[in-house]
Amino acid sequence: MPSALRGENALSVSFDSGAAELTEGAKAQLGRFAVTLKKTSDQRLQVVAYAAGTDAEASQARRLALSRALVVRSYLIEQGIGSARMDVRALGNKIEGDGPADRVDLVLIANR
CATH number of the domain encompassing residue 39: 3.30.1330.60
The number of distinct structural domains making up the chain is 1
What mean pLDDT comes out for the span 70-83?
97
Residue 6 has pLDDT above 70, yes or no: no
Strand partners, 48: 89, 105
8-65 confidence digits (pLDDT tens):
578 999 999 999 999 999 999 999 999 988 888 888 999 999 999 888 889 999 999 9
Residue 36 DSSP label: H
DSSP string, 45-109: EEEEEE----GGGHHHHHHHHHHHHHHHHHHHHHTT--GGGEEEEEEET---SSS-SSEEEEEEE
The range of the structural domain enclosing residue 47 comes to 4-110
